[in-house]
Amino acid sequence: MDKDRIVGTAKDFAGKAETTVGEMAGDAGTQASGRLREAAGTAQNLYGQAKDATRDATDAASNYAKQAYENSGDTFRDGSEALAKRVRDNPIGSVLIAGGIGFALALMMMRPSPPSRRRGRYFG
């Protein structure tokens, strides 16, 4: 629990007490001061709640990222093992697929770039 929540709750309680005293005494100034203190306490309490919620969300995101990082090695290892098994089971198909990918990459790299188009009179 954030200290702003504790202080805000205390101010809210003190403001309610001051408002009640002002009502009993018939003093409008004390009533107004109590309502002002009560509003400030409520605002500080809400601020503390927002800080707590932000802290909780940050902790949850941090834990999620940490778990994902820790599990990423296992996922990569499992994928590598599955790929190695697939290559062992079908070596000719794997070579043909790798050759096709290499050929496609070579075509993309060797393709001439399109000529630049000139726009307008000042090439802008």
Supply the DSSP string of 57-123, one letter for each residue.
HHHHHHHHHHHHHHHHHHHHHHHHHHHHHHHHH-HHHHHHHHHHHHHHHHHHHHSPPPPPPP-TTTT
Does residue 67 sit within a domain? no
Average pLDDT over residues 19-36: 87
Does residue 102 sit within a domain? yes
Does residue 36 sit within a domain? yes
Q: Indicate whether 17 pLDDT > 60.
A: yes
50 and 82 within one domain: no
91 and 44 within one domain: no
> Residue 25's domain spans which residues?
1-59
Indicate the SS3 state at residue 37. Answer: helix
The whole-model pTM stands at 0.51
Q: Indicate whether 101 pLDDT > 90.
A: yes
pLDDT of residue 118: 63
pLDDT tens, residue by residue, 57-91: 888 888 888 887 787 777 778 888 888 888 889 88
pLDDT of residue 103: 93
